[in-house]
Structure 1
């Protein structure tokens, strides 16, 4: 567990990721995965049963099966490509709204003064980059699944395995794909919340924050634990393991930054 650190003068509450946003995003991704898997499994069962006797005797049915798999993968690639932008935009817009509100509330709680938060070049850039990153990640769910399914089917065909064994392998692959969707939702919620909160804080004229290790992970990065309590530049990040990074930036990082209002605390990194 990270050591407790004394709160600095002028230190606002850190903006923690919103669990409701993560769960909603995760469910949307899982729903898309479920649809793809059900469709793929239904088609494969019907096709495999109809041609199982031919597949192990002749190379041409196997080639035909591979061609049909490719066509169905193409259909789902288009489906994911069509849905990804809306899913990503909705998720990031929700995170930005939450991060903006949380930042304003933290500032009011500390100073008693109402503040306005305007869109800036930094906040718009962060939003667009976050949307694009999530679009790419959503598309990658389909591409990884399709590649693995094709490999499983072809290996099953060449080995002459039965439909039940293939189905078991496909279900296992489906579980992996669903866990990847869950990881993306959790990781992107952490990352986008931290990035958008930071952008909003910079827009308010805040230029530094304190790194806080939340201690929520099963296998915390030792260097992130050691960073707990250190103050860093919001436009630069904190140097950890030889590079400047921000809280929540690394995969599965649940660290957060507690912004410090200028002129109230003179602590430096």
Structure 2
């Protein structure tokens, strides 16, 4: 009598954890607040004091050296601090993402009748290291880009005749822009890290197929992602959309996810 074959099982989707994303966003905003506070105490207060005393106290031939010195000081100081802070923030974020995904994958596998024990393979180790380093680079870029914006606004204040009121307003705008970028990084990296970890865990368990699920969260969804909803794809490659192979949640602002398919087992 020929062996029977079970139908493939479809596991529930696992979505990025919003609590982890929130904590990561909070850490980035707190970091930005520390940078902004030091900028205010080290650069802005001194600049405002001298400008109020006498608008000519920092002539154009001297302000360039002063401004460059202060910005270099702040950049050097924060580069050293971020060499410690950025890896710590990133590692905590990535490790929590891994733990969260493993917890739900174990639960879904157990409910399907399987017991799994995860191990860190060389492929996973390299992937997690790459994910962490990408996060570190993005965290450091928050500092460098913010300082560049501050420097530009101070220069504008000088060329506009030391309009301190305008400087204060413009610095608030620059802070708001940088804060939005930090929040975007947290949201986007939450989805990207989840996608990378999901791909690695599926490879570890030999899961080869999955079903794409559109998030329906965006007001202007990508038509290709919407069209991919409910379709199967090879998890080693992803889905071929708009001329490239992509995983759910991998592209900027993509909130799509997927359901793992457990292939049938001969009885």
Q: What TM-score, normalized to structure 2?
A: 0.90
Q: Does structure 2 retain, via aligned residues, the 8 Å contact 1:99–1:197?
A: yes
1:98 to 92, 97, 100: 100
Q: 1:198 deviation in Å? A: 2.0
Q: 1:225 deviation in Å? A: 0.7
Q: 1:242 deviation in Å? A: 0.6
Q: Which residue of 2 aligns with 1:142?
A: 143
Q: How does 1:53-68 map to 2 (within 5 A)?
A: 53-54=55-56, 57-68=59-70
Cα displacement string for residues 151-179 of structure 1 (whole angstroms, at most 9, x for unaligned residues): 11112112213222101101110011111
Q: 1:77 deviation in Å? A: 2.4
**Secondary structure, aligned partner of 1:54:** coil
Q: Does structure 1 retain, via aligned residues, the 8 Å contact 2:211–2:258?
A: yes
Q: How does 1:239-258 map to 2 (within 5 A)?
A: 239-258=240-259
Q: 1:57 deviation in Å? A: 4.5
Q: Following the alignment from structure 2 to structure 1, what is the Cα–Cα distance between the partners of residues 144 and 232?
A: 41
Q: How does 1:144-159 map to 2 (within 5 A)?
A: 144-159=145-160
Q: 1:62 deviation in Å? A: 4.0
Q: Which residue of 1 aligns with 2:16?
A: 17
Cα displacement string for residues 107-128 of structure 1 (whole angstroms, at most 9, x for unaligned residues): 122x223222222222222211
Matched, 1:121 2:122: yes
Q: Which residue of 2 aligns with 1:50?
A: 49
Q: 1:55 deviation in Å? A: 5.4
Q: Following the alignment from structure 1 to structure 2, what is the Cα–Cα distance between the partners of residues 208 and 119?
A: 21
Q: 1:232 to 1:58 in 2, by over 3 A?
A: closer
**Secondary structure, aligned partner of 1:161:** coil
Matched, 1:222 2:258: no
Q: Does structure 1 retain, via aligned residues, the 8 Å contact 2:199–2:235?
A: yes
Number of aligned positions between the proteins: 256
Q: 1:201 to 1:48 in 2, by over 3 A?
A: same
Structure 2: state its 5+ residue gaps.
1-6
Q: Does structure 1 retain, via aligned residues, the 8 Å contact 2:13–2:258?
A: yes
Q: 1:191 deviation in Å? A: 1.1
Cα displacement string for residues 197-246 of structure 1 (whole angstroms, at most 9, x for unaligned residues): 22112111111111111111232111111111111111111100011111
**Secondary structure, aligned partner of 2:237:** coil
Which shows bigger deviation, 57-66 or 191-200?
57-66
Q: 1:131 deviation in Å? A: 0.4
**Secondary structure, aligned partner of 2:211:** strand
Matched, 1:33 2:35: no
Which shows bigger deviation, 18-27 or 65-74?
65-74
Q: Following the alignment from structure 1 to structure 2, what is the Cα–Cα distance between the partners of residues 62 and 55?
A: 13
**RMSD of Structure 2 on Structure 1 (CA):** 1.7
Q: 1:72 deviation in Å? A: 1.6
Which shows bigger deviation, 212-221 or 140-149?
212-221
Q: Does structure 2 retain, via aligned residues, the 8 Å contact 1:56–1:158?
A: no
Q: Does structure 2 retain, via aligned residues, the 8 Å contact 1:48–1:163?
A: no
**Secondary structure, aligned partner of 1:232:** strand
Which shows bigger deviation, 213-222 or 200-209?
213-222
Q: Following the alignment from structure 1 to structure 2, what is the Cα–Cα distance between the partners of residues 78 and 230?
A: 47
Q: What TM-score, normalized to structure 1?
A: 0.90
